[in-house]
Structure 1
């Protein structure tokens, strides 16, 4: 029997005791009440110890739960920091990659412009060379035509009869 049951038994004994007329008192078997109270006294320290042990056990469980919660929170904060750090690294890498791509595109455009300028200059020089060559060829052909005409003229003079020398 536990302490609460003992207390209930004592209360039932007092309630069932014979009342004294004209008084609030009652007749109770003294020895029976003393025995019940002694049993209660003997049980109460063990019940109190058991309750104290339960409270200590409860505190240990609460402390363990708090430590576990703190550990989980700390791990969560570390994971959050790691993810933020990884995110920052990724964002930084993306910015760097974008910068490098932009620089590469600018460099490629600069090189295209330089090549275009070089090719244009080379073609202009080649055009001048060809123009000079064509002019030289044209002059040579003109001279050849001129010489041919002179040669044809000379040939036609040779075909004419020679004039007789005149005396004076």
Structure 2
């Protein structure tokens, strides 16, 4: 492709440098050089350009062939589409029939299962009610027995408390009597103790007075040098 542009440049340069013919717009160029440049230009043109020219020459024929093939392809596609639609409809009808049959089977089985479950639930409910009634009767009986037992125990406890109240009253009276007696005995013992202590202290005081008098006389005798007098006791 580069040679094409190079040949065109040389051709243009040759035309620009050619001698002009007086009184005209023509020019004189070397024939052999121009023919050689044209041959180079023709040989340098890409093959695709020639193919493109062939395509342009056969354009109408190619278009007619393409339209014919397109019509054939459309017809074939429409035929295939019709076949596919027909098969799809047939498959859909078959699937719908199978689904309806399967649904009917499932509905029948579900109804049977539901009836079985309802029957089982009813029997279980009846058994539960019977057990609950029996348990309620037992609880009521136990409650009545417990109530009667509690009432009996309450009455017995009441009688015991009444009896204990009388005992407590008597015990309180006896306790007060014992306390009063203890107070009297305590006062008596305190008086006797005071009298005993007073007597002993008086005797001790008299004994100490005699001892002091004796000690005083002995000291006086010692001072006079007369010797110690014999201790006398009173």
Q: TM-score range by the shorter chain?
A: 0.3 to 0.5
Q: Higher Cα Rg: structure 1 or 2?
A: 2
